[in-house]
Amino acid sequence: MAVFSSPDFDQHEKVVFCCDPDTGLRAVIAIHNTNLGPALGGCRMYPYISDDLALSDALRLSRAMTYKSALANLPLGGGKSVIIADPAKDKSAALFREMGRFVESLAGNYIAAQDSGTSVQDLQHIAAETRHVAGTQQAVDDCGKTRSGDPSPATAYGVFVGIKAAVKHCFNRSDLDGVKVAIQGVGNVGFRVARRLHNEGVRLVVSDVNEASLLRAVNEFGAQAVECDSIHSQDVDVFAPCALGGAVNDTTIDAIRARIIAGSANNQLASVGLGQVLHSRGILYAPDFVINAGGIIHVHYMRSQRPWQESVQHVEEIGLTLGEIFQRAEDADKTPEAIADRIAEERFKPSLAADIRFAV
């Protein structure tokens, strides 16, 4: 398993391989950049079919977290951890406590948070061995309602705000009534996105590998269910990838009919060049590391014990950020992700100049 020669290696500061035969723990922790602060990122649990795929995921996701935090104006760097295991059958308190010991060994350079395949309870086991964990505590908001450390609601809200910004830029309308959206994946985040869109009068098309989740969306929102391998090709206004990454790839891109791609999934583009293809075809892409930043914003505010309403207001700024990125991309005839990358890099790379006017 090559690290430095991996196509996903991007001058990462540290990559740690974690193994404990007694608990069955096999994991990778990747720290991409800590110039703005400690590397905060989710701890993912997934049964990768190879170690190389696990490493690739950790490298790509940690890099994305650096850009995500920079664009969200958070004092954080980018990191990610992946546990190579099946969350449906391989979880144990001992395994997560061992993971906590590895996190502790990094002396605060990496802060673990919830991610796909892990829960707040899992993080609490990690927290038994280290204080470098975020999202395990509860907080009471300004209305007296108890909020958990689960970042899914905030992520979903940010995606909803981002979809509204994309619709406004693309179709010059502020409402969503009658807009048609295809959501790939209606799990923790996707279902919440669907609910908010449904409440705004959006017509929904959904797919999910989990039959129960799919039926729930159909029953509660009147959504149209389609097969997973056809969700990207639906005749809709917005395609919202809310499952795993790579939804836009060499196989699916030619069949996409939506004018907008905006969802919660990380690494929605399977390769960098696909962004230019979308741009050339007049398809507006909301960079995933911008639109799905609600979760990291929520976790940061919970960890800092800041007022709940401040967190909500910060998440709402995702729409303003995307609006600026879309307009600058249009004016410069650049892809939105190129503009977003440049803005982020000028925040976390001290060597770059402060002028962000289309210098891409």
Q: How many CB atoms lie within 10 A of CB 219?
A: 9
- Listed residue (157, 5, 18) closest to 98, CA to CA: 18
Q: Which of 80, 91, 164, 334 is catalytic?
A: 80
CB 241 within 8 A of CB 185: yes
Q: What span, in angstroms and rounded, lies between the C-alpha atoms of 147 and 111?
A: 20
**β-pairing verdict for 203-207 and 180-184:** parallel
Is 80 catalytic? The answer is: yes
User: How far is the C-alpha of 245 from the C-alpha of 55, rounded, in Å?
Assistant: 15
Three-state helix/strand/coil letters over the chain: CCCCCCCCCCCCCEEEEEEECCCCEEEEEEEEECCCCCEEEEEEEECCCCHHHHHHHHHHHHHHHHHHHHHCCCCCEEEEEEEECCCCCCCCHHHHHHHHHHHHHCCCCEEEEECCCCCHHHHHHHHCCCCCECCCCCEECCCCCEECCCCHHHHHHHHHHHHHHHHHHHHCCCCCCCCEEEEECCCHHHHHHHHHHHHCCCEEEEECCCHHHHHHHHHHHCCEECCHHHHHHCCCCEEEECCCCCCECCCCHHHCCCCEECCCCCCCECCCHHHHHHHHCCCEECCHHHHCCHHHHHHHHHHHCCCHHHHHHHHHHHHHHHHHHHHHHHHHCCCHHHHHHHHHHHHHCCCCCCCCCCCC
Which residues form the catalytic set?
80
